[in-house]
Amino acid sequence: MALPAGDNSAAARTNSMRGRVASHGDTPASNGNVANIVTTIRILLAPVFVWLLFLDNEQNGIWRYLAAALFILAIATDGLDGVLARRRNLITNVGIILDPIADKLLIGGALVTLSILGELWWWVTVVILVREIGITVYRFAVLSKRVIPASRAGKLKTVFQSVAISLFLVPFHSFLGPWVLWVNWVAMGIALVLTVITGIDYVVQAARQNRGSTA
């Protein structure tokens, strides 16, 4: 039995997979919309490129290049899902949750794997992951009260993290020479400094907002 026209939006809310998938509009968007599909693909690429890195077994062969290509593809499409969601009004609670998870899985998976392979100091990985996971958990904890958008410095931090990890993943030093390793470490150093500074800034801003809300 068909539902009255006025009940369509209620039905879409009841069944989260019903609604708009790609078209622009004001009706509820499906959790299976195109933006969330892009995010899900990015999440699924994380274990694949990690597996390829281990499969390469530090030989800097074809598997290493494939792993690097997958990481770069996944991280380069970071803004694609957000653009699709905003321009087509496909923003959903599922998408809001999945997007940072995708970023953390890609960045975290790469850092941990590089440390396991002995190519990146563990303390660098730990510092970055503690900051990323801590801030993400906090943002989710206060999501019902307020949305904490990424700052310009935070976006710049993500760019440097992505570039630094990409430089570590692609074995440029194997055909350009060991001097490339210095470039890799400088990029990672900048990413690390930005990670710490933006993390401290988030904590300071959160403390100010909490004091303001209780005043």
Q: Tokens representing 28?
A: 């509820």
53 contacts 64 by C-beta, under 8 angstroms: yes
**pLDDT tens profile 152-192:** 777 889 889 999 999 999 999 888 889 999 999 999 999 99
Nearest residue to 60 (alpha-carbon basis) of 158, 170, 162, 138: 170
Q: Which domains does the chain have, with CATH numbers?
A: 29-214 (1.20.120.1760)
**pLDDT tens profile 39-86:** 899 999 999 999 999 999 888 999 999 999 999 999 888 778 777 777
pTM for this prediction? 0.81
Nearest residue to 127 (alpha-carbon basis) of 96, 157, 156, 171: 157
pLDDT on residue 11: 45
CA 7 to chain centre: 36
pLDDT on residue 14: 45
- For the cut 60, the answer to whether the pLDDT of residue 6 exceeds it is no
- For the cut 90, the answer to whether the pLDDT of residue 98 exceeds it is no
Q: Give me the mean pLDDT over the 130-143 stretch.
A: 80
